[in-house]
Amino acid sequence: MNRYDETRAALVELLRTFGADAVSVYKVGVPLVSQGFSQDEILNVLFTLSREGVIELLGTNELRVLTE
């Protein structure tokens, strides 16, 4: 598995724990950075998930999961 796929898998797994409520991007980034993922890797996946309609990036530094 390449690094992008590893980051995506870890991020999706984490997002599943939050449900449909808006969650701070900080709550997403901190645990993933502690797992060794860089901010750039995390943002790349977040932007991709947003384009795919999986999440919505809110202007308040929060995101909302739209689909499972």
pLDDT digits (tens, 9 = 90+) for 45-61: 999 999 999 999 998 99
Tokens for 62? 């929060």
Closest CA to 15 of 2, 27, 30: 27
pLDDT of 4 > 70? The answer is yes
Helix ranges (DSSP H) in the chain? 3-15, 25-34, 39-51
Could you give the domains of the chain? 3-65 (1.10.10)
8 A C-beta contact, residue 64 and residue 55: yes
pLDDT digits (tens, 9 = 90+) for 25-49: 999 999 999 999 999 999 999 999 9
Ramachandran angles phi, psi of 46, nearest 5° = -60, -45
Q: What is the pTM of this model?
A: 0.91
